[in-house]
């Protein structure tokens, strides 16, 4: 069996880390009290010179789901944490809405995920060793939301890229 070589193994490992974005939070398009808590996962990008670094952590700290009405704007507070012993710079952070689900966690195909958009992080941020930084992500819901979207939860998948500062 042929080996990939050390550089290719690092590239493959970093690609796997970069693709490993996880569902972290939910946007709730409803008026009742939201019930789903946020979760936290780690994501890192495959930048050169980061092979020895641990992935930075993305933790949505907004609390529960944010309630939105058609045409409105909301925000998610996100804490980025650096588990490394050196400064890192988070270059990008974005969130992609997934297919909305109802209270029983069933997908609702008549409500497209595209009615919800999340603006990417505006500027890179530097995180000190073993430190954290809080950023805000702006979330918008379309003006023309189908009736099928009422009382649904939109899962968000966060991902980002970091490098040594």
pLDDT of 10 reads: 44
pLDDT band at 40; cut points 50, 70, 90: very low
Q: How far is CA 143 from CA 14, 139, 147, 154, in A?
A: 39, 13, 12, 16
Which pair of tokens denotes residue 133? Answer: 């930084």
- CB count within 10 Å of CB 58 equals 25
For residue 27, give the nearest of 133, 135, 151 by alpha carbon: 151
**Neighbouring residues of 117: CB distance < 8 A, sequence distance ≥ 6:** 97, 139, 140, 142
* Separation of first and last alpha carbons in the chain: 38
Average pLDDT over residues 104-109: 90
Mean pLDDT of the chain: 75
**Distance in angstroms (rounded) separating the CA atoms of residues 126 and 90:** 6
Cα torsion through 99, 122, 41, 75, rounded to 10:
-60
pLDDT of 126 reads: 96
pLDDT of 138 reads: 93
Does 143 or 34 have the greater pLDDT score? Answer: 143
Edge-to-edge, what's the strand order for the sheet holding 73-81? 40-43, 56-60, 73-81, 132-141, 116-118
**Distance in angstroms (rounded) separating the CA atoms of residues 54 and 164:** 11
For the stretch 120-148, pLDDT in tens is: 999 999 999 999 999 999 999 999 999 99
pLDDT of 49 reads: 57
For the stretch 59-94, pLDDT in tens is: 888 877 778 889 999 889 999 999 999 999 999 999
- How much is the pTM? 0.70
Q: Where are the domains of the chain?
A: 6-164
**Distance in angstroms (rounded) separating the CA atoms of residues 86 and 52:** 11
User: To which H or E segment does residue 10 belong?
Assistant: helix 6-19
Question: How much of the chain, in percent, has pLDDT values that exceed 90?
Answer: 37
Residue 52's Cβ-count burial label (10 Å; 0-12, 13-18, 19+) is exposed
Does 91 or 41 have the greater pLDDT score? Answer: 91
pLDDT of 52 reads: 77
Average pLDDT over residues 112-120: 93
């Amino acid at each position: 069996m042929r080996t990939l070589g050390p550089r290719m193994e690092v590239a493959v490992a970093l690609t796997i880390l970069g693709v490993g974005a996880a569902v972290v939070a939910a946007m709730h398009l409803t008026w009742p009290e939201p019930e789903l808590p946020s979760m936290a996962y780690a994501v890192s990008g495959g930048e050169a010179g980061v092979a020895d670094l641990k992935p930075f952590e993305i933790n949505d700290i907004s609390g529960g789901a944010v309630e939105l009405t058609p045409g409105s704007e909301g925000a998610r507070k996100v804490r980025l944490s650096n588990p490394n012993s050196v400064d890192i710079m988070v270059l990008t952070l974005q969130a992609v809405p997934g297919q909305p689900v109802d209270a029983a966690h069933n997908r609702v195909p008549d409500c497209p995920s595209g009615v919800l958009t999340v603006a990417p992080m505006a500027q890179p941020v530097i995180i000190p060793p073993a430190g954290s930084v809080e950023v805000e992500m702006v979330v918008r819901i379309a003006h023309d939301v189908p009736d099928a979207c009422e009382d649904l939860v939109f899962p968000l998948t966060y991902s980002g890229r970091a490098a040594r500062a």
